[in-house]
Chains A and B, each alone.
Chain A
Amino acid sequence: MTITASSVAATRSQPGRTALRDRTWLRFALRRLGRLLASLWVLVTASFAMIHLIPGDPVRGALGPTAPADLVAARREALGLNDPLLSQYADYLRGLVTGDLGTSLSSQLPVSDVIAQRLPATLSLAVLAFLAAVTVAIPLGVTMGVLTRRGHGRRTELAFTTSSVVVATVPDFLIGIGLVYVFGVNLGWLPVAGNETPSAYLLPVLSLAVGPAAILSRIVRVEMVSVLEADFVRTARAKRLPPRRVYLGHALPNAVTAALTMCGLLLSAMVAGTVLVENVFAWPGLGTTIVSSILTKDYPVVQAIVLVYGIGVLVTNTVVDVALALLDPRSMIRED
């Protein structure tokens, strides 16, 4: 104990110099990339297979039973549906890489144009709804967690849990219909169709965000309560840190890492939710397009939209995993 503080401090290393840490990050990055590529391949193959799994002739289905046989045959030839399956697959992959997603059976326009036109509306809706949900849910969940920690707030817990279950049960499209009824039919305050004005965003975002916000706040509360029981929180209390420090500095980061996984799932679910909400509010996005395309059997469009949604989900999951790794380095270590 004769070593001085300064001499020990001089040996403090610079960040990121240990070989061990680099190796962990590298292995994690490789594994995650591998999973992303594998998932991407499954997605692409599934969307390709989708058309070929449908019983019957897709072109005949799209053009209708009364269309002349030679038109159907010509369309089939033009779409390459008479080629062997493997070469169709190769063409498909090649098309994806070059950005050629095929041609719409009903409108004859390039599918990539359709996507480019409709994607921004869907994307803006999903992102806004996610931000709204997270901004409300996390502070709410944390506050509830502190209020209902062990030995406190039993009644509050009952009220909160019941109400969040009820709110979470209502599906987004029902909320949408309800809002359309109240604000569109009755009060007429807000637009209920299209995305012409900024105020048109209000009701769709609300419909999309309410359910996930309820679920997320509930998860955050449960995680917070459980983290507050953890040994290291007891250690923080033993260090006699002010209570706010204990909750925000120690408990919150650990509760958030668990909630982060849920955030990823919710964002994916929200991407799906846009399909329903868009159809309630006549929103000019991918959701309305995919439904009409399914009904008119315009399969190239359906295929492409499924691909876009799938890629969106995969990207979200990867971002969540990386964020998780940054917040909690333990999650990078694979336990096998």
Chain B
Amino acid sequence: MHDGDRRWRRIVGTPLGLTATVLVVAVLAMAVLGPVLWGDTATAVDTDDILAPPSAEHWAGTDNLGRDILARVLVATRLSMLLALAAVAIGVSVGIVLGSAPFLLGRRSGRLVSAAVNIAVAFPGLLLALFFAVVFGVGATGAVLAIGLSGAPVFARLTQTLVAGVAARDYVSAARVAGVGRVRVLFRHVLPNIAEPLVVNATIGAGGALLSFAGLSFLGLGVQSPAYDWGRLLYDGAAAIYVNPASALAPGAAVLLAGLAFNLLGESVAKGFGVPVIGDVRRRVRPGRAGADPGPAATDDHADGTAAEDVVLDVRDLRVTFPGPAGPVRPVRGVTFDVRRGEAVGIVGESGSGKSLTALAVSRLVDDDGTVEASRLAFLGEDLRADGGAAQRRMLGTTLAMVFQDPMTSFNPTQRIGRQLAEVATTHLGMGRREAMDRAAERLDSVRIADAGERVRRYPHELSGGMRQRAMIGMGLMGTPALIVADEPTTALDVTVQQQVLDLLAAIRAADGVALMLISHDVTVVGEVCDRVLVMYAGRIVEEIPAGDLATAAQHPYTRALVAAVPDMATDVDAPLATITGRPVEPADVPTGCAYAARCPLADARCRAEDPPLEAGPRGRVACWHAGEPLPAPDSSRPAEDLVETR
């Protein structure tokens, strides 16, 4: 498989991976060749030259029988490696069997096995190894069994967790629904998909087994004379350390190098399969130098001459750039709009449109590896393009409220809700702890959370999703916000709960004149809640239109297609649903010209060559060369999507 080959190449290609691979190959080569090349030297006894320090003839000196220590160390590689690999093999196979058992057996027996493994895991490997060493007796065979079995519980636990993760995926359920037996599912679906972490851990486990063996032999409980592995050599060497330190340091160094080799190899393989490889430093994008298209000049003014005091948020030519594997990526390519006092502005778009990033950018919450630029970005007169320090933080903390999409994860799970709300008041409003908590309780009540006084002491996980979203809104109301920025606030909620949250937002706006910026993929929600709607596609605003005109007077083909594609309670059930052919544009793959041209029935050569500017129209703004033209009738004979390569 091409992906696999590429990944292996990536692993070996980094300095770390290369070093590790070379080391491992060297160790394995030594294991094979060592006894062949130095076997005789290692057994040659010379009673005249016992316990000699290092010399030209014996680089690491001699042991108590005059044998060359370095040669013994090199020859011992084979036994040390064989024992370690045997132990790992035992540990891994027993571990995989025990770890897969809960999946194959029923609930009852599976839980029994699982409990047994959990108990065994509690005991550290060395103790288990000592236990088994007593039972199996000292010596190499006993030690192999001991170390192997002592490593099994950890592997079993790992396998169990991995299997449980994969077993929860729908394709496993689908296979079972199709009638595929459990054993077949295990081998066909589960094990191949957990092979990678298992291999990584087995490699690291080999390193661990090597070290454990060294430890056990060092204690005298492992390999016994006349056989010798590195551990045994350490046992002999430690006794002679004052006379000839090299007798201990030489085998010690060998153990170290071999263990390091396996551990580092495991590490680099882990990186190669998962996260981008270390040593592959990504360069930060410097502002003003990110290639790509400059875009139309930011010359479009406000549609009407609005007084400056009325404007809460003023954004002009906003651009957000991220470093990417193949060059900088610009998910937001020049966005201009404003939000006035008390107004509700909606931003609607699909995945890849850049709507969420726009919201984060105007709030100064984009991650550090992204670069935000704009010719103007002002909130209540404060320039947000630069960091204004503590003063700016205080201003934003009290006048700009944020509501994010996922209520499950937006609160700190280890702190009570009340405290998280109160924090805003203690940090920015100079309130004391008690006063802040009182205010927090009062705010929770104002967002219609029942028993607010009691709920204040709850942890986030004790509240439902709808309650958490309302608490989030309450947190934004701890100050006196002029603007609420809500990024998909109701997407994760049930429709009845969604209605409550939207009603709450409407009530807050009506009572305190707070402006709202609502971002959503759901054009029906945005149409219902907002006064004005901005439609985004591929990082640009393609249309700005009053919400009431969405169904009747949209000018841009994308807006009209979006509205038509959503079934509602009045859609004609006898006709096929309107669809938009093709797929949303990836931010890394923006074409020249109008980004929507590939999916647009009105597109012509000009559309594909020139990107239309956002221009003011009779009711709003539109970026289209064919704005307002009638659409052709939908062609239902064409397949709706082509199988397009994603790379």
On chain A, the residues within 8 Å of B133 by CB distance are: 294
- B92-132 contact mask (Cβ, 8 Å, vs A): 1 or 0: 00000000000000000000000100110011111100110
Query: Residues of A contacting B439 with CB < 8 Å?
Result: 5
**Residue A180 at the B interface, CB < 8 A?**
yes
Q: Is A314 an interface residue (CB 8 A)?
A: yes
Select B393's contact among A158, A178, A240, A273, beta carbons within 8 Å.
A240
State whether the Cβ of B175 lies closer than 8 Å to any Cβ in chain A: no
Q: How many residues of B contact A (CB 8 A)?
A: 89
Give the docked Cα–Cα distance between A254 and B255 (Å).
37
Q: Decide: B207 and A150 in contact? CB cutoff 8 A.
A: no
Q: Contact: B123 with A268, CB < 8 Å?
A: yes
* Closest chain B residue to A271, Cβ basis: B124
Q: Is B284 in contact with chain A by the CB < 8 A criterion?
A: yes
User: Counting CB contacts under 8 A, is B413 at the interface?
Assistant: yes
Which of B48-56, B336-344, B362-370, B589-597 forms part of the interface with chain A? B362-370
A232–B134 CB distance below 8 A: no
Provide the bound-state CA to CA distance between A19 and B437, in Å. 23
Say yes or no: B453 contacts A50, CB within 8 Å: no
User: Assuming the A-B contacts A235-B404, A257-B414, are A151 and B263 also in contact, with contact meaning beta carbons closer than 8 angstroms in the complex?
Assistant: no
Report yes or no: A174 in contact with B409, Cβ–Cβ below 8 A.
no
Instruction: Check A230 against B119 for contact (C-beta < 8 Å).
Output: no
- CB-CB under 8 A for A12 and B456, given A162-B16, A240-B428, A295-B138: yes
In A125-179, the 8 Å CB interface with B consists of: 149-152, 154-155, 157-158, 161-162, 165-166, 168-171, 173-174, 177-178
**When the two chains form their complex, are residues B410 and A11 in contact, meaning their CB atoms are under 8 A apart?**
no
- Complex Cα–Cα for A8 and B438 (A): 7
Contact residues in A for B126 (Cβ distance below 8 Å): 269, 272-273, 275-276
What's the nearest-Cβ distance from chain B to residue A136, in Å?
21
Most buried by A among B16, B127, B249, B404: B127
Query: For B441, what are the chain A residues with a Cβ–Cβ distance below 8 Å?
Result: 5, 8-9, 11-12
Q: Using an 8 Å CB-CB cutoff, how does the interface string of B438-450 with A read, 1 for contact, 0 for none? A: 1101100110000
Query: How many angstroms between the C-alpha atoms of A54 and B423 in the bound complex?
Result: 63
A191 at the A/B interface (Cβ < 8 Å)? no
Give B73 Cβ to nearest chain A Cβ, in Å: 14
Most buried by A among B125, B219, B242: B219
CB within 8 Å for A151 and B284 given contacts A177-B252, A239-B427, A291-B219: yes
Chain B residues in 8 Å Cβ range of A299: 134
Interface string of B210-238 (1 = CB under 8 A from A): 01001100111100000000000010001
Determine if A27 is an interface residue (Cβ-Cβ < 8 Å): no
In angstroms, Cα B220 to Cα A290, docked, is 12
The stretch among A83-91, A115-123, A323-331 that forms the contact with chain B is A323-331
| A236 pairs with B412, CB closer than 8 A | yes
B453–A5 CB distance below 8 A: no
In the bound complex, how far is the Cα of B445 from the Cα of A11, in angstroms?
11
- B116 → chain A, closest Cβ, in Å? 8
Q: Which of B239-261 contact A (CB under 8 A)?
A: 241-242, 245, 248-249, 252, 255-256, 259-260
Q: A residues 1-37 with Cβ under 8 Å of B?
A: 1, 3-6, 8-13, 15, 18, 20, 35
Whether a CB of chain B sits under 8 angstroms from the CB of A234 is yes
Closest residue of chain B to A46 (Cβ to Cβ) is: B131
- The minimal Cβ–Cβ distance linking B516 to chain A, given in whole angstroms, is 16
Max count, chain A CB within 10 A of own CB: residue among B138, B215, B284, B456: B215
Given A235-B410, A242-B393, A254-B414, CB of A173 within 8 Å of CB of B215: yes
Would A239 and B423 be within 8 Å (CB), given that A174-B252, A328-B413 are in contact?
yes
Partner of A171, one of B215, B472, B475: B215
Q: Give Cα distance in the complex from A300 to B406, angstroms.
A: 59
Chain A residues 220-236 with CB under 8 Å of chain B are 230-232, 234-236
Which residues of A sit under 8 angstroms from B259, Cβ to Cβ?
169-171
A177-B241 contact in complex given A39-B119, A295-B138, C-beta closer than 8 Å = yes
Q: Are B459 and A155 in contact (CB under 8 A)?
A: no
- Please name the residue on chain A nearest to B397 by beta carbon: A240
Distance A292 CA – B452 CA, assembled complex (angstroms): 65
Q: Are A291 and B220 in contact, CB atoms less than 8 angstroms apart?
A: yes
Chain B, residues 1-45, CB within 8 Å of chain A (1/0): the string is 000000000000000100000000000000000000000000000
Any chain B CB within 8 A of the CB of A63?
no
Residue of B125, B397, B423 touching A272 (CB-CB under 8 A) = B125
Q: A273: nearest residue on chain B (CB-CB)?
A: B126
Residue from B252, B368, B404, B462 within 8 A of A149 (CB atoms): B368
A234 to B402, CA, bound (A): 10
Instruction: Check A9 against B453 for contact (C-beta < 8 Å).
Output: yes
Whether A313 lies near B249 (C-beta < 8 A) is: no
Tell me if B218 and A276 are in contact (CB < 8 A).
yes
Q: Does B640 contact A (CB under 8 A)?
A: no
> Is A185 on the interface with B (CB-CB < 8 A)?
yes
B424–A239 contact, CB under 8 A? yes
Q: Which one, B215, B390, B402, contacts A235 given CB within 8 A? A: B402
Q: B199 interface residue, CB < 8 Å from A?
A: no
Contact A178 B252 (CB under 8 A): yes
CA distance A55 to B135 in the complex (A): 8
Q: Is B633 an interface position by the 8 A CB rule?
A: no
Chain A proximity of B387: nearest CB distance (Å): 11
Assess whether A237 is interfacial by the CB under 8 Å rule.
yes
CB distance from A254 to the nearest CB of B (A): 6
Select one of B138, B390, B446 contacting A1, CB under 8 A.
Answer: B446
Chain A nearest CB: distance from B313 CB in Å? 15
A169 contacts B263, C-beta separation under 8 Å: yes
Residues of A within 8 A of B219 (CB): 275-276, 279, 291
User: For the complex, what is the distance from the CA of A161 to the CA of B414, rounded to whole Å?
Assistant: 28
Q: CB within 8 Å of A: which of B399-413?
A: 402, 404, 406, 409-413
Asked if A71 is at the interface of the complex by the 8 Å CB criterion, the answer is no
A219 within 8 A of B: no
Which residues of A, 230-256, contact B by the 8 Å Cβ criterion?
230-232, 234-242, 245, 250, 253-254
Instruction: Report which residue of A10, A151, A302 has the largest number of chain B beta carbons within 10 angstroms of its beta carbon.
Output: A151
B111 shortest CB reach to chain A, Å: 9
Shortest CB distance A275–B (Å): 6
Cα A170 to Cα B125 with chains together (Å): 16
List, in ascending order, chain A residues with CB within 8 A of B385's CB. Answer: none
Which of B118, B370, B441, B445 is packed against the most chain A CB atoms within 10 Å? B441
Q: Which of A11, A42, A150, A232 contacts B367 (CB 8 A)?
A: A150
The reply to whether the CB of A72 lies closer than 8 angstroms to some CB of chain B is no
B127 touches A309 (CB 8 A): yes
**Hey, which chain B residues are within 8 Å of A20, CB to CB?**
462
How distant is the Cα of A168 from the Cα of B284 in the complex, in angstroms?
32
Provide the residues of chain A in CB contact with B238, threshold 8 Å.
Answer: 177, 280
B411: A residues at CB distance < 8 A = 232, 235
Give the segment of B275-283, B290-298, B301-309 that binds chain A: B275-283
Are A53 and B135 in contact, CB atoms less than 8 angstroms apart?
yes
A317 at the interface (CB under 8 A from B): yes
- Contact in complex: A177, B234 (CB < 8 Å): yes
CA A12 to CA B415, docked complex, whole Å: 17
Given contacts A8-B438, A43-B123, 6 further A-B contacts (CB under 8 A): A13-B454, A50-B134, A173-B234, A238-B402, A276-B219, A294-B133
Give 9 closest A-B pairs by Cβ, nearest first.
Answer: A151-B369, A11-B453, A240-B397, A272-B126, A151-B368, A9-B438, A240-B393, A231-B409, A272-B124
Q: Which residues of A line the B interface, CB within 8 A?
A: 1, 3-6, 8-13, 15, 18, 20, 35, 38-39, 42-43, 46, 50, 53-55, 149-152, 154-155, 157-158, 161-162, 165-166, 168-171, 173-174, 177-178, 180-181, 184-185, 230-232, 234-242, 245, 250, 253-254, 257, 268-269, 271-273, 275-276, 279-280, 290-291, 294-295, 299, 302, 306, 309-310, 313-314, 317, 327-330, 333
- A and B contact pairs by CB, cutoff 8 A, 24 listed: A5-B438, A11-B453, A13-B454, A38-B115, A46-B131, A150-B369, A151-B370, A152-B368, A154-B278, A165-B263, A165-B267, A166-B260, A169-B259, A169-B260, A177-B249, A181-B249, A231-B409, A232-B411, A235-B404, A238-B402, A245-B427, A275-B126, A313-B124, A313-B127
